[in-house]
């Protein structure tokens, strides 16, 4: 059974409604869940919710993100991404507003969080005919915003914010070793087959692991496709499931990958 079959919209919606009524009171209404076929790991649903707050009736377009047990990065935790979005609210990094999160799989069948729906499209650098997706002016403008958001992230003073709880390595001498161990665990999880080239690479990486010059919040997958663009502006940086504390140089490496 696929994750889509396990987490069908009606079943998730009914359980989500029970959860939200516990969070904001019984006077909650939510519309149908719309499944988005984006992303390679978390399941994403959009829905509209109405509830009362401070005597006023509020209506919001929201996003529900679920980390299914069958996902490529399972087992998931929603807390790190949620704490990151909370911490970065109002910073120079455009992020959706975070509302609720839970790592208890008994609620919806998987860890999840709820954030606001942000308008925009996730651009790709190519088109159907193989040509560039942007003209030169748009490419430069988005590139400047993309790097400015990353600089704001790496300069964000995370100490004393909820982001202190996202995990990772805060010892500059251990940041690279922490990431080597993380990706080695994933490699063993994804395949029992041993590849000599990868084994040699792990040995080399451990022997030449650099020391970080400083510690910052690291997105962990900072590349084109993981942000939304609206009218020539980046409206939100998305997909924080690999976020951690570590060496900001990691994100520069992700930028250099050809998406």
The CA distance from 114 to 122, in Å, is 19
Going residue by residue through the chain (259 aa), what tens digit of pLDDT does each one get? 344 446 777 889 999 999 999 998 878 999 999 998 776 689 999 999 999 888 889 999 999 999 999 888 889 999 999 999 999 999 999 999 999 999 999 999 999 999 999 999 888 766 555 555 678 888 899 999 999 999 999 999 999 999 999 999 999 999 999 999 999 999 999 999 999 999 999 999 999 999 999 999 999 999 988 999 999 999 999 999 999 999 999 999 998 876 5
Distances (CA, A) of 188 to 73, 191, 220: 12, 5, 20
CA atoms within 13 A on the CB side of 138: 13
The CA distance from 253 to 63, in Å, is 29
Q: For the chain, which domains are there?
A: 3-116 (3.30.200.20), 136-255 (3.90.1200.10)
Predicted TM-score of the model (pTM): 0.91
The CA distance from 240 to 225, in Å, is 12
The CA distance from 144 to 167, in Å, is 29
Alpha-helical (H) ranges within 94-214 are 105-108, 136-154, 175-190, 196-207
Q: What is the pLDDT of residue 130?
A: 54
Phi, psi for 58 (deg, rounded to 5): -115, 140
């Amino acid at each position: 059974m696929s994750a889509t079959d396990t987490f069908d919209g009606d079943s998730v919606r009914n359980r989500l409604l029970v959860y939200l009524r516990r969070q904001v009171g019984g006077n909650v209404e939510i519309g149908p869940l719309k499944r988005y076929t984006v992303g390679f790991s978390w399941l994403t649903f959009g829905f509209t919710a109405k509830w009362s707050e401070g005597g006023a009736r509020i209506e919001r377009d929201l996003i529900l993100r679920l980390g299914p047990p069958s996902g490529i990065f399972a087992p998931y935790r929603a807390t790190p991404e949620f704490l990151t979005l909370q911490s970065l609210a109002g910073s120079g990094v455009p992020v959706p507003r975070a509302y609720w999160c839970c790592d208890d799989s008994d609620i919806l069948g998987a860890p999840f969080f709820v954030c606001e729906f942000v308008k925009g499209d996730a651009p790709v650098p190519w088109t159907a005919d193989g040509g560039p997706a942007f003209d030169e002016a748009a490419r430069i403008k988005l590139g400047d915003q993309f790097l400015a958001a990353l600089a704001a992230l790496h300069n964000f003073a995370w100490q004393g914010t909820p982001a202190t709880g996202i995990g990772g390595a805060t010892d500059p001498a251990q940041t690279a070793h922490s990431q080597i161990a993380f990706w080695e665990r994933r490699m063993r999880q994804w395949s029992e087959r041993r590849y000599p080239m990868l084994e040699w690479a792990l040995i080399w990486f451990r022997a030449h692991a650099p020391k970080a010059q400083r510690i910052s919040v690291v997105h962990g997958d900072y590349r084109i496709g993981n942000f939304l663009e609206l009218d020539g502006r980046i409206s939100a940086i998305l997909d924080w499931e690999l976020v951690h504390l570590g060496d900001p140089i990691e994100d520069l490496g992700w930028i250099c990958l050809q998406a």
